[in-house]
Structure 1
Amino acid sequence: MSVSLMDFHADWCGPCKTQDPILDELKNDWGDRFDLEKVNVDEEQDVANEYQVRSLPTLIVENDDGVVERFVGVTQREDIEDALERAGA
């Protein structure tokens, strides 16, 4: 099963910059167990609209069955890991 973590962000978003190192560290530690997709909402508004993203940062954990978890605001690593495990990563 493929698992992805979508990170909806923007260059002007301060909290997004707080979220970045958490995601980078997670990706380094978990390796290929999930795909990290960074979505710049200024450049990819259609994707943001499709997922109904209204606030930044928004993280969406998804697997082959669809959205498993959605986080709005800066999210701690433990919460993201729990969602990734539930998704099958």
Structure 2
Amino acid sequence: MENKFFTLINDNKPVLVDFYATWCGPCQMLSPVLKQVKDNLGERITIIKIDTDKNQELASKYNVRGVPTMILFKNGKQLWRQSGLLTKEQILGNIIKESN
């Protein structure tokens, strides 16, 4: 899992990582919002979901203390980070602003 994760975040295309937990209500509310973001941006972005309970080392490496936490990567660099529930417009705005 970690090797695939590092391959993905080192891509030239922006990658939005959603650190979540299955028991987290706001995480469940964010899931359809992220689908709308993906539908809006299509192939211009990759969105991956990381279950923090199953991937504690990865969550720890990126100092994920609360869920949901979204981190935007491009070429292996962290461009943007936000914890909590955001609207589609807020997420899209940050992705577009930070990845250009």
With normalisation by structure 1, the TM-score equals 0.91
Q: 2:21 aligns with which of 6, 10, 16?
A: 10
- The offset of 1:65, in angstroms, is 5.4
Q: Identify the residue that residue 30 of structure 1 maps to in structure 2.
A: 41
Q: Which amino acid aligns with 1:12?
A: W
TM score, norm. by length of structure 2: 0.82
- What's the RMSD between the two structures over aligned residues? 1.1
Alpha-carbon separation, structure 1, partners of 2:19 and 2:91 = 14
Deviations 1:3-36 (A, max 9, x none): 1000000110011011111001111221111110
**Stretch moving more, 20-29 or 77-86:** 77-86
Aligned residue pair count: 88
Q: List alignment gaps of at least 5 residues for structure 1.
A: none
Query: CA offset at residue 61 of structure 1?
Result: 0.9
Matched, 1:87 2:99: yes
| 2:30 equivalent to 1:19 | yes
More helix by share: 2
SS at match of 1:23: helix
Question: Structure 1: which 4+ aligned runs deviate by more than 2 Å?
Answer: none
Q: Name the structure 2 match of 1:70.
A: 81
Mean alpha-carbon deviation: is it higher for 30-39 or for 64-73? Answer: 64-73
Alpha-carbon separation, structure 2, partners of 1:27 and 1:14? 21
Q: Return 5+ residue gaps in structure 2 as ranges.
A: 1-11
Relative CO higher for 1 or 2, CA cutoff 8 Å, sep ≥ 6? 1
